[in-house]
Amino acid sequence: MNPIFYKVRRGRIVFGVFAGLADRFGLDANLLRFLFVLFSIFHFYGLVGLAIYCLCAFSLPYKEDLEREKYGLGPRKRKDAQVIKDDDSFF
């Protein structure tokens, strides 16, 4: 299952939630951060927004991790390695 929302490590300031939203929707991350701070200061629901941000920060996966799993990038796992037999005549 491919999640709709994700975080991004590149361009993050705190947890990468706004960087991920900006990457997903093609917006500027600084604009999203500015709007979040603006609504948090001048509106009572800023605490709700902060709670949603914290929820997203701890529950959303990183985009880089999703790509690594999807394309099989990164180091090979030891359990996936082939067993080398003693009678193998390599040397």
Q: Which residues contact 18 (CB under 8 A, 6 or more apart)?
A: 29, 32, 33, 36
The amino acid at residue 85 is K
What pLDDT is attached to residue 28? 92
Residue 1 lies in a domain: no
Residue 30's pLDDT is: 92
Residue at 82 is within a domain: no
Q: Is the pTM of this model over 0.75?
A: no
Domain that holds residue 58: 17-73
Rounded to whole angstroms, the Cα distance separating 31 from 41 reads 15
For 27-50, how does the pLDDT look when each residue is reduced to its tens digit (9 = 90+)?
Answer: 999 999 999 888 888 877 778 888
9 pLDDT tier (thresholds 50, 70, 90): confident
Q: Is residue 48 part of a domain?
A: yes
Specify the DSSP class assigned to residue 55: H
